[in-house]
């Protein structure tokens, strides 16, 4: 099942952000460190590249992501032209304070009282943009919640006498091109819950966890993981936790939600759902169709 989610208000938000892009100097793209490429809006990249705006990629929620994988992503992004990347957790005091100084070198002609540095904060829903804004301003000005699409309108803030911030609504793109991206975003709670089936997403997550983080799964659930896949993991959680429907059949839906919550909250440990290598391999499979001996020219 391909997952798609593009609420109506995002069309207007995209138009307004495109207009505002002309008047800003640096784009601050807030990403979920567990899915930094799957969660990067391609429309945002098109907008800033059209206006030739530099970008600071903030890999937020780094405390939930695999540190080794996050380092690989930082190396990957920092090798790109006009891009700087940093990993942090906006919930940790003082972490967000690093950001303005990192933006200054990206627009060296700005950052004075006469020419304030104008920064626009962008990203998809629920990556922590509002938490980031509040941490920068050291006061609660942006609405925060554990549901995607809390912010609906552009908001303008004076950070100090030589820096300005624009907060934008979380924006998805009209069509998620790659099916696995939709599942990764849903597993990370970056898509509205009405857009996906939780058991299907938990099965996808379980398969991935068994491939890359089986040891952490075993430590958490204390079960035999030999030859186990995503479906088997959900079944094991239901049995181990005695999740039943009216005391009879096992409640696999509740087990699926438990697995998703354990991942989202970090209870399973520091886990990343994609790496630069896995991303490159996925794109290679898409670009180069599998060889079919019956049609060697296909």
For 165, phi then psi, to 5°, come to -125, 140
- Residue 152 — very low, low, confident or very high, per pLDDT cuts 50/70/90? low
Residue numbers of the domain that contains 62: 13-167
194: left (phi over 0), alpha (psi -120 to 50) or beta: alpha
> Same structural domain for residues 134 and 211?
no
User: Using CA atoms, how far apart are residues 274 and 36, in angstroms rounded to an integer?
Assistant: 8
Tell me the HSE value of 201 on the side-chain side, using a 13 A CA sphere.
30
Q: Is the pTM of this model over 0.85?
A: yes
d(CA 61, CA 245): 35
pLDDT higher than 60, residue 145? no
> Is the pLDDT assigned to residue 298 strictly greater than 50?
no
Shared domain for 241 and 137, answered yes or no, is: no
Give domain status of residue 173, yes or no.
no
Within a domain: 294: no
Q: How many domains is the chain built from?
A: 2
- At residue 93, the pLDDT reads 79
Helical (H) or strand (E) element with 32: strand 26-32
Residues 37-84: tens digit of each pLDDT = 999 999 999 999 999 999 999 999 999 999 999 999 999 999 999 999
């Amino acid at each position: 099942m391909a997952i798609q989610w593009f609420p109506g208000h995002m069309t207007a938000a995209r138009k307004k952000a495109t207009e505002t892009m002309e008047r800003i100097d640096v784009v601050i793209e807030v990403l979920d460190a567990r899915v930094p490429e799957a969660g990067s809006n391609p429309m945002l990249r098109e907008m800033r590249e059209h206006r030739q705006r530099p970008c600071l990629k903030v890999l937020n929620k780094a405390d939930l992501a695999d540190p080794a994988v996050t380092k690989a992503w930082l190396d990957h992004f920092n090798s790109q032209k006009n891009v700087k990347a940093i990993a942090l957790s906006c919930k940790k005091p003082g972490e967000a304070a690093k950001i303005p100084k990192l933006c200054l070198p990206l627009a060296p002609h700005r950052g004075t009282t006469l020419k304030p540095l104008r920064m626009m904060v962008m990203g998809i829903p629920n990556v922590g943009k509002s938490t980031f804004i509040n941490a920068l301003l050291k006061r609660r000005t942006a609405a925060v919640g554990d549901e995607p699409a809390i912010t609906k309108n552009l908001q303008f803030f004076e950070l100090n006498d030589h820096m300005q911030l624009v907060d934008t609504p979380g924006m998805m793109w009209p069509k998620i091109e790659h099916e696995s991206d939709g599942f990764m975003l849903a597993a990370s709670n970056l898509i509205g819950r009405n857009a996906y089936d939780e058991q299907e997403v938990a099965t996808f997550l379980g398969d991935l966890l068994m491939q890359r983080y089986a040891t952490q799964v075993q430590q958490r659930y204390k079960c035999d993981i030999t030859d186990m896949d995503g479906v088997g993991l959900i079944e094991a959680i239901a049995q181990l936790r005695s999740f039943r429907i009216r005391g009879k059949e096992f409640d696999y839906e509740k087990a699926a939600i438990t697995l998703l919550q354990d991942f989202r909250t970090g209870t399973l440990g520091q886990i990343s759902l994609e790496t630069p290598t896995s991303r490159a391999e996925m794109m290679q499979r898409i670009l180069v169709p599998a060889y079919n001996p019956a049609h060697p020219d296909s």
